[in-house]
Amino acid sequence: MKRTAARRLALAGAVALASAAWAAEDDRILYPGKATPTTAPATGGVGTFTLVVGAALAAAGGWLLWRGRRQAPGVAVGRALAIAETRSLGNRQYLVVATYEDKKFLLGVCPDRIEMLAPLHEEKRGP
C-alpha cells in the first residue's frame, strides 16, 4: 500500500515537472477567464531594501549569538563577582553561594531582601 502511494506521488511530481517544462517552452502567459494582462506596479526598490535590511538584521543576530557562545556558560572570565551555586528553598526563596575575588559568601535571597548569612571558608581536604 505504501508503494502505491509512493508511485502516485512520483507520478504526480513527474506530471507537474512536465507541465512546468511545457509551459516554459511557450512565451505566452495564460490568464484565467477574460482577464487582460496588466503590468506589475513599480515598487521603487522597496523589496530590495527590505531584503537588505532583513539580511543585515539576520547577520547582526547571528553575530550576537556567536559572541555569546564563545564563553562557556557560568564562567566569568576577568570578573571578580560570580554566582557559584544556587539552591531553591521554595516560595521564591534561594540559598546562593557568591564568590568575590577569592572569598565565598552564603546569601539568603527572598523577593523583598538579600541577606549575607555567613562567609564561607575553603576547607583543605586531605587525600
Tell me the pLDDT tens digit for each residue of 47-105.
Answer: 777 888 888 999 988 888 877 666 555 555 567 888 999 999 999 999 999 999 889 99
- pLDDT tens digits for range 17-26: 566 555 555 5
Whole-number Å distance between alpha carbons of 36 and 54: 35
User: Chain-wide mean pLDDT for the chain?
Assistant: 75
Give 41's pLDDT tier (boundaries 50, 70, 90).
low
What's the pLDDT at 64? 82
Q: pLDDT tens digit string along 6-20? A: 666 666 766 665 665
pTM: 0.39
DSSP strand pairing (103-109 vs 114-120): antiparallel
| Rounded Cα–Cα distance for residues 86 and 63 (Å) | 30
Dihedral angle of Cα 86, 90, 91, 95, to the nearest 10 degrees: -30
Residue 125 has pLDDT above 90, yes or no: no
H helices of 26-93, in order, are 46-69
